[in-house]
Amino acid sequence: MHVRSLPEAAPSVTADALVVPVFSDGALDGAAAEIDATLGGVLAGVLRDAEITGKAGEMSLVHAAEQPFHKVLLLGLGDRGKFLPSALNKYAGAAVRHLGKRNAKTIAIALPKEAAVDVARCASFVAEGAYAATIDTTTYRTEPDKPVVTETVLVLAGGLDADAVAAGVARGSVVGEAVNFARLMALTPGNDMTPTHLANRAKELAADAGLAYTMLDEDAMAAKGMGALLGVSRGSDEPATLSVMTYTGDPSSHEVLALVGKGLTFDSGGISIKPAENMHEMKYDMSGGAGVIATLWAIGKLKPKCNVIGVIPSSENLPGPRAMKPGDVLRAMNGKTIEVLNTDAEGRLILADAISYAKELGATRIIDCATLTGACVVALGHAASGAMSNDEHFVTRFLDVVGDVAERYWRLPLYEDYSTQIKSEIADLKNTGGRAGGAETAAAFLKAFAGDTPWIHLDIAGTAYLDGESAHQAKGPTGTPVRAFVAFVEDLAKRGGPPAATNGAAKVAAGA
């Protein structure tokens, strides 16, 4: 599918279907008013008869065979006073899924007048949503059910700044493709998405985006002392990999943001094996790694002025004959020793070595993302990802930037109590602090490897994949946190990095 912008107004566009917005106040303005006049009041009749009320996601299809657009989809955007640009992600996604499954190959989408608040950003969300709408979970079916057949989506500038619309569509198309790259990687089953396959995908996308790429194999990891990552990998015949994608957008700067993503291509729990029910979903345990790979590709295409590295540790966690056992002690790359109390708390182990390696590579700031804990799902459900940090300025800036990116993040505390919970009697750390505060103790474990480097941990266990289909997107992987990462990198390029936290600010961030 291809998304492009058009400068013309809605009534003159040629397409299989035209999408126009309406808010819950029922007022027809902008493109909706123009089309209503063209059709002799048909859209006003839809609202008058209460077929829809303008509530977000409501839609009504009107046929207009005599017009250059053959159908009109009136689609609700909800409360006009609460409009946010990110709402256009769902608006466009719902339109493309609905019409694309009904043989509309060319779809024109009109922007609401409210898009004038930030034209480029709004157009970007339309493009992102259109791309995300095309993916279904039926990737291995020989005959997929009702695929989206749309080939072209036209974003209409109407009376808005046509150059800004074009710039937004170009940016959103890159982000939308990146989101889909991450989702398709996560959808791939473990027999086809081994650590080697994930590393090869990172290599392919790095080459396509003009990025440098290196990979550590298990011999190189052993030479670096990565005993935590290798400990997780011991139970599998598939070798572990650690991929590094490097984007150098500002050679004059020593600032380097590292994005670190958990790449567990399948997690059985190891010796502490998981229940059989829903274990198949553990192919999604590499969603963080997929998100980092896709983000680096997008950054390479968008070319912001900053330096970013993506670090993706990958392995399987299986109960093979050489698998680590509860009670084993591992030594991580930074020399810290770890008592393994639960082999199913493996994600933090591979991230520990990856964070240490990111620091060795010169990272001045680190954000990791991982489907790390069920405890975060209990705390936040599937509505938001948890965010924890050792640096007040860094996490505040991040949460401010990603406040409206079509992904949600919620700050969780990182009190010193949680670090106390993971102290081991026989080693420096233990890999679980028990059930209480499970998301926070996992973050406290990772904090021990971030050290003084400003760092944020994102627990995406509840948001990386969803069980239910929505109007705008298929069930399964969501592509979280690609949108947030791209937005934050772009903000760093525009405004520079946040100042280093003072000791006092750092304590506030840690909850001390």
Q: Mind telling me the catalytic residues?
A: 274, 348
Nearest-angstrom CA–CA distance, 428 and 312: 25
The Cβ-side half-sphere exposure at 212, using a 13 Å CA radius, reads 9
Sign of the alpha-carbon torsion through 404, 372, 132, 53 = negative
Closest CA to 313 of 434, 220, 438: 220
CA pair distance 40, 28, nearest whole angstrom: 13
Nearest to 483 by CA among 148, 114, 88, 119: 88
Alpha-carbon torsion (348, 385, 402, 130), positive or negative: positive
Neighbours of 424 (CB within 10 A): 15
- Helical (H) or strand (E) element with 32: helix 30-38
How many residues belong to the chain?
Answer: 512
DSSP string, 416-449: HHHHHHT--SSSSEES---STTHHHHHHHHHHHH
Enter the tokens of residue 510.
């840690």
Beta strands in 249-281 (DSSP E): 257-261, 263-267
**What are the angstrom distances between the C-alpha of 180 and each of 164, 230, 283, 300?**
24, 30, 17, 16
Alpha-carbon span 64 to 34, nearest angstrom? 14
* Residue 185 · residue 193 · CB < 8 Å: yes
- Count CB-CB contacts under 10 A for residue 261: 34
> What's the N-to-C CA distance of the chain in angstroms?
51
Amino acid residing at 63: H
Q: Residue 216: helix, strand or coil by DSSP?
A: strand
Q: How far is CA 324 from CA 246, 348, 370, in A?
A: 32, 15, 21
Q: Identify the burial level of 168 via C-beta atoms within 10 angstroms of its C-beta, where 0-12 means exposed, 13-18 middle and 19 or more buried.
A: buried
Contact 506, 390 (CB under 8 A): yes
